[in-house]
Structure formats: structure tokens, C-alpha cells
Amino acid sequence: MITSHDIVMVGGGGAGLRAAIAIAETNPDLSVAVVSKVYPMRSHTVAAEGGAAAVIKDNDSLENHINDTISGGDWMCDQDAVELFVNEAPRELIQMEHWGCPWSREPDGTVAVRPFGGMKIERTWYAADKTGFHMLHTLFQTSLKYNNITRYDEWFATKILVENGRCQGVTAIELRSGKVEVIAGRSVIMCTGGAGRVFPFTTNGAIKTGDGMSMAYRAGVPLKDMEFIQYHPTGLPGTGILITEAARGEGGILVNKDGYRYLQDYDLGTPLDINDPKHPVKKSMELGPRDRLSQAFVAERENGRTVSGPYG
């Protein structure tokens, strides 16, 4: 059986739903299919806890955000992509609020922001400790307003169909029945997320198996920057449970088995005196770039200065 749409979106998480909404808003006459191997509210976006970065404070600027991002990426970032993202981020997060995302607030009613790794100025918007949960709920509920968006929930896309050098849609299996269908489209947008499950230990959910990357590769699409895997410096050993960066943004510190704040030995700043009124919230060490913190932890572990346990 063949079902036809103008645009086929593979992936129903934050990226897929946002793209579908943008298309539906731009042209109500376009038929948009959202193909997701899980119900959209089970997409991995829901697991994000900490927040999303966008310039909002008077003492911040787009240039500062760009500089922090590029320097935090060791100057290996695609700088055009960084500039585009940074410029669009404030408008997007304000739009999310208009759609109903409950951003946390300061006592005066302004949007609350907190520091995250690599930032010199607080610019992380958050919704309590369930940022991804609220963002995904907001996007899902907004998508329901558009009659030209058709959802294929729990349909597993298996192949990108290419004919005469052009993408023509995808094949997909309905997980409930096992039937296979062609979902045809003039354009296909891949929004399938990462592939953390290729590693034996990951904070990613069971669904992050790299299906979209694999399908794109088999269809002849060159994959870019596959070596850039995000290593997060804090988690619970043996569980795959992330300790959100917000724990450090709100004042958490990292110490080795001797109670020593070891990051000061890795060119990540000097800790404030314990009696300083700004301690421990306003600090630089624990809010360094994630890759630097992860490397420092590995060095401490190799030198026998970490706490040993049954899971690592």
C-alpha cells in the first residue's frame, strides 16, 4: 500500500514536531506526515532536564553567545550553523512560551536563566527540572491544531526510497500489526536524533539506535562530523541515569575521593574561598565545557583518585 504526502518527517520528537509545525504554518495546503517509531511523547526530547540556551539578559549579547559556543567547541564548530542557531534561539524560545511552555520565572516575573557549561553569562532557559518534558508537551499540543499534519505513531521507518537520484519517500513497518507500507513524499526530512546506544554505557534511551543515520547512509547521503559525540561529565554509575548539568549550575561541585576540587589542576579556574558570599553558585570550574570536565575526570580515574564502587 502507498500513502502519499507532500513532505515526510521521520522522527516525532522535538525537532520533527517543530519542523512539521513550521511547514504546516507556512502552507496549510501541504500535507505533512510525521513518522515516529514511538508515540511522540515518548521521544527522547522528554529526557532533557537542564534547559536551552538563548540570549535574554541585558548584559548578554548574540556575539557573546556565539563566542562562548565556538570557544567551548575548541573552534571546531561549524560557525555558520552556530551563528544561525544563536540568532534564532531567542525567537524560538519566546515562541515556545506563546504556545504554552511554562518557563521558570524570577520573583519579578521575568524568565529565569541559569549558568551552564562554557557560559560566561547566565542564558539557560529552563522549566523546573523537566525542560524537555514541557517543551515536547508544548510542541505536541501545538501540532494538534493543524489538520494537514498526519501522524504515524509507532511506525518504524526502514528505508529511504530513492529513484532517479531523488528521494521519493520511505518504507515503514507498523509495529502493532507488522504491515509494511510506502509513505511517499516529494521531500523527506530526517529528525531521528542520535545513536548513543552504540556505546555499552549511555544516558540515551533504548530508542536512540541511529536508525536515521543508517538509512541516510544507505541511501547515499554523506554523514558529517560523526566523531563528535557528547560526553557528559556527570551520571550515576551502572544506571545510565544522567546527573543534569543544572546540578552544577545551581552550585554543585566536583571533588575526588580526597574531597579535593580537582578541576583547578586542569586549567579550569580557581575555586572561590568557601567563605565568599558567591560560593559555590558563582564559579567557573564546574561550568567549564563538558569535554574538558570529562577529560579531567578520566585523568583523575587513571591516577586512582576517584571513588571505586561495584559499577565503576
**Residues identified as active-site:** 232, 248
At residue 308, φ and ψ (nearest 5 deg) are: -85, 145
Under 8 Å between Cβ of 30 and 21: no
Cell 551552564 belongs to which residue? Answer: 116
Q: Three-class SS of residue 170?
A: strand
Distance CA(68)–CA(89), nearest Å, equals 15
> Quick one: 210 exposed, middle or buried, by C-beta within 10 A (0-12, 13-18, 19+)?
middle
Which residues have C-beta within 8 Å of that of residue 145, sequence separation ≥ 6?
none
Alpha helices in 74-178 (DSSP H): 79-99, 131-143
